[in-house]
Chain A
Amino acid sequence: MASSISTAAKASAAFAHKKELAAPAPAQHRAGSSRRTKPCRVRAVASPARAPRAPSSTGSVKSAMTMTEKILARASERAALEPGENVWVDVDVLMTHDVCGPGTIGIFKKEFGEDAKVWDREKVVIIPDHYIFTSDERANRNVDIIRDFCVEQNIKYFYDIKDLSNFKANPDYKGVCHVALAQEGHCRPGEVLLGTDSHTCNAGAFGQFATGIGNTDAGFVLGTGKALLKVPPTIRFVLDGEMPPYLLAKDLILQIIGEISVSGATYKSMEFVGSTVESLTMEERMTLCNMVIEAGGKNGVVPADETTFKYLEGKTSIDYEPVYSDAQARFFSDYRFDVSKLEPVVAKPHSPDNRALARECKDVKIDRVYIGSCTGGKTEDFLAAAKVFLASGKKVKVPTFLVPATQKVWMDVYSLPVPGSGGKTCSQIFEEAGCDTPASPSCGACLGGPRDTYARMNEPMVCVSTTNRNFPGRMGHKEGQIYLASPYTAAASALTGYVTDPRDFLM
């Protein structure tokens, strides 16, 4: 039995709706119905078990594809494709925010006409998040521009903010786009998600193809719902072994980027598999995929499984169909890591691949710590930091800035009990440790921003940060020094005033 994708693709010349390309009904995952479906049943559709046959006698080996290839094949209505091919794909979701939205809208109107309508008002998600809590007039104007467009186009998903003095007064406002996309159910296995932001690859954690594009490409998608993409070959990263209690996904991805360099995955897909990956929560998988771009990767993927399906329960009413790499799929290269042997790492200034063991940087005096962003400002990131502060019981020695990624994260910080604390919330633990009060959710100082951005680095100083980049000037000042780290390492460093291995507090 050939793959259901190829069978359906040979159907009539009439347009085959994407859902029809999927396997017959039982394999579809319907929102709200039983999610107890075992993943192995879906895998049987993708790569059926059969007696071995000589490769030359069948086409099935030739069309063995990786996850990324399969997603792009389905999105471009192709039976099979190979890395290097340029294909037109149907886009399932297009995301933009306040920084690139106005430019994208400008191009859309210029090229398709002032009265043009977007290709699908339910597939465009517009999320102001970058320069929100600022008095910068142009930044504020840019939120107005995207609002006007959303009203004009009747965009279904626009997470608006009007009252900048109190984020809680804005019921629609979410915060950081990549975390909001996940929390609001816009990330679904098997789909194609494009966004005007390089960390759009974050959504690959859901087993979908997600990557960042520029304003012009996005303007084109707004008008046509299609994008021309080049199929990337896939590098497979097999992570096995029990995750030590002092490591987080941030350590894993910094380890990988340090291994392959900031251009090691250029034009390639990064697929994360193995027992360790399977043990990660969705938020941890997001952290992993989030920084694929820092290795130059086009996209990152984690195969969808029960963890994924459970996370999606109640979040989306749109059907989805996961895909999985064929057993005989060809990968560009393989990397294998025994996670049990890894240690906490940092990326030293000024490159995300400038990897060093945290314990080897213990003499680096720091001036501040920043915990936030799509990479390191999710609920579990704050729970992790709180765990270290709790274990220590002491106060931080340097200003410690906390910026929850979204409203939901902010609420979790103020309501979720931290395990082992006797019912204390993260916010209480942070207060007792002397951290700054958790700030309004947004991208914040991860990328510097307007001068009055909270926690922006306006003088040269040394910062340990849970963010994603540390190139010169990233957080504001060109001579600032940024050490990228996990929330455990960031919290440990705040407690000592030096770059610190979290084992000093967790073991």
Chain B
Amino acid sequence: MAAAPSATAVSTAALVAPIQAPTSAFLRRTQLTRHRLHSLKCRRAGPIVPAAAAAAAGSSSPSSAVFHGECFVVGDNIDTDQIIPAEHLTLVPSKPDEYRKLGSFAFAGLPSAAYPTPFVAPGEESSRYAVIVGGANFGCGSSREHAPVALGAAGARAVVAEGYARIFFRNSVATGEVYPLELTEAGACKECKTGDVVTVDLGNSVFINHTSGKEYKLKPIGDAGPVIEAGGIFAYARKTGMIASKAAA
């Protein structure tokens, strides 16, 4: 029962910024303005980010991304310590070289007995698996944003799970690193195997396992979709005019 941190209720008055970086004086003035909330119209997104192994499916409607690739399957209650162990949290995600290193440690915390195939092969910096299939309560535990960042840095495009812990879901959308997609029914993670060739079709809200021949329905990603497509909340806010674009590239 994931809840998309919908961006429909937006206070544009608060977020319209001057061309230069907001000074504290500006921010104080903004806070003095009465805010009115109104719906945010989803703008049509541009060309879709291609998945690891397939050509982009160009489309003009938002959230019609299609990802193909091999999937990596995990079980229920995969907590963020398993996604990125604490010893790697000294890596700062906003530094490009450390961002890449985080990717190399994605899922390093999974016990080897239960998960003999590593998500990132030894010696590699990124993963061959474009899609992660999970069970209930994916991403529970610590709020570390390093978790969706590590998955995205490793090359994963989407997680397809039965449900999400709220901070992980929120971080995935805010960073735009991976789509946190929700299955309508339980059981997929038991029927899929690591290495199966899959397709995630956001436009049709369906997850297809070509190796097993099974299809699963996804809950529509809703308002969170365009945010992820744009590259996270800040990029989305700029793209839709909620905040001004940065003056100098």
Q: Which residues of chain A have a CB within 8 Å of any CB of chain B?
A: 13-15, 77, 84-88, 90, 99-100, 102-103, 105-107, 110-119, 130-131, 136, 138-139, 141-142, 145, 196-198, 200, 212-217, 219-220, 223-226, 228, 230, 262-263, 266-267, 293-294, 296, 298, 351, 447-451, 469, 471-474, 476, 478-479
With contacts A88-B37, A110-B94 known, is A478 near B109, CB below 8 A? yes
B143: contacting residue among A13, A130, A212, A225, CB under 8 A: A212
B95: contacting residue among A100, A106, A115, A213, CB under 8 A: A106
Can you pick out 27 interface pairs between chain A and chain B where the beta carbons lie within 8 Å of each other?
A14-B32, A15-B33, A87-B9, A99-B90, A103-B93, A116-B23, A117-B23, A130-B89, A136-B90, A138-B91, A141-B90, A196-B145, A197-B143, A200-B143, A216-B171, A216-B234, A217-B170, A220-B233, A228-B9, A262-B77, A298-B166, A351-B77, A447-B81, A448-B85, A473-B85, A474-B86, A476-B87
7 shortest A-B CB distances, which residue pairs?
A: A113-B21, A106-B94, A214-B145, A138-B90, A214-B171, A212-B143, A198-B143
CA distance A267 to B167 in the complex (A): 9
Main secondary structure on chain B at its contact with chain A?
loop
B49 within 8 A of A: no
Contact at A216–B6, with CB atoms within 8 Å?
A: no
Q: Which residues of B contact A116 (CB under 8 A)?
A: 21-23
Query: B interface, how many residues as a size bin?
Result: 35 or more
Q: Nearest chain-B residue to A78 (Cβ)?
A: B37
Contact at A296–B85, with CB atoms within 8 Å?
A: no
Instruction: Give the distance to chain A from B36, nearest Cβ to Cβ, in Å.
Output: 10
Q: Chain B 205-249, CB within 8 Å of chain A: the 1/0 string? A: 000000000000000000000000000111000000000001000
Contact at A86–B6, with CB atoms within 8 Å?
A: yes
Instruction: Give the distance to chain B from A227, nearest Cβ to Cβ, in Å.
Output: 10
Contact at A267–B3, with CB atoms within 8 Å?
A: yes
Instruction: Give the distance to chain B from A462, nearest Cβ to Cβ, in Å.
Output: 16
Q: Which residues of A contact B163 (CB under 8 A)?
A: 263, 266
Q: Which residues of B contact A113 (CB under 8 A)?
A: 20-22, 246
B117 within 8 A of A: no
B145: contacting residue among A100, A293, A473, A476, CB under 8 A: A100
A86: contacting residue among B9, B90, B112, B166, CB under 8 A: B9
B126 within 8 A of A: no
Other CB < 8 Å A-B pairs besides A263-B165, A472-B81, 17 of them?
Answer: A90-B31, A116-B22, A131-B89, A198-B141, A212-B143, A215-B93, A216-B232, A228-B5, A262-B140, A266-B1, A266-B166, A294-B141, A449-B86, A450-B87, A450-B90, A469-B142, A478-B109
Q: Which residues of B contact A114 (CB under 8 A)?
A: 21
A478: contacting residue among B33, B111, B175, CB under 8 A: B111
CA distance A111 to B232 in the complex (A): 12
Instruction: Give the distance to chain A from B229, nearest Cβ to Cβ, in Å.
Output: 16
Contact at A131–B90, with CB atoms within 8 Å?
A: yes
Q: Which residues of A contact B89 (CB under 8 A)?
A: 99, 130-131
Q: Which residues of B contact A142 (CB under 8 A)?
A: 90, 92
CA distance A479 to B113 in the complex (A): 9
Contact at A214–B174, with CB atoms within 8 Å?
A: yes
B82 within 8 A of A: yes
Q: Which residues of B contact A86 (CB under 8 A)?
A: 5-9
Q: Which residues of B contact A298 (CB under 8 A)?
A: 166
CA distance A450 to B86 in the complex (A): 8
Q: Which residues of chain B have a CB within 8 Å of any CB of chain A?
A: 1, 3, 5-11, 14-15, 20-24, 27, 30-35, 37, 77, 79, 81-82, 85-87, 89-95, 109-112, 136-137, 140-146, 163, 165-167, 170-171, 174-175, 232-234, 246
Contact at A263–B142, with CB atoms within 8 Å?
A: no
A469: contacting residue among B32, B37, B79, B111, CB under 8 A: B79
Instruction: Give the distance to chain B from A15, nearest Cβ to Cβ, in Å.
Output: 4
Contact at A212–B167, with CB atoms within 8 Å?
A: yes
Contact at A267–B143, with CB atoms within 8 Å?
A: no
A223: contacting residue among B27, B85, B92, CB under 8 A: B27
Contact at A263–B170, with CB atoms within 8 Å?
A: no
Q: Which residues of A contact B82 (CB under 8 A)?
A: 471-473
Q: Which residues of B contact A196 (CB under 8 A)?
A: 143, 145
A14: contacting residue among B24, B34, B81, CB under 8 A: B34
Q: Which residues of A contact B22 (CB under 8 A)?
A: 112-113, 116, 223
Q: Nearest chain-A residue to B85 (Cβ)?
A: A473
Q: Nearest chain-A residue to B163 (Cβ)?
A: A263
B174: contacting residue among A85, A117, A216, A472, CB under 8 A: A216
B94: contacting residue among A103, A213, A473, CB under 8 A: A103
CA distance A99 to B94 in the complex (A): 12
With contacts A110-B94, A469-B141 known, is A213 near B170, CB below 8 A? yes
CA distance A226 to B166 in the complex (A): 19
With contacts A115-B21, A198-B142, A220-B233 known, is A266 near B165, CB below 8 A? yes
CA distance A296 to B166 in the complex (A): 7
CA distance A380 to B146 in the complex (A): 33
Q: Which residues of B contact A111 (CB under 8 A)?
A: 234
Q: Which residues of A contact B9 (CB under 8 A)?
A: 85-88, 228
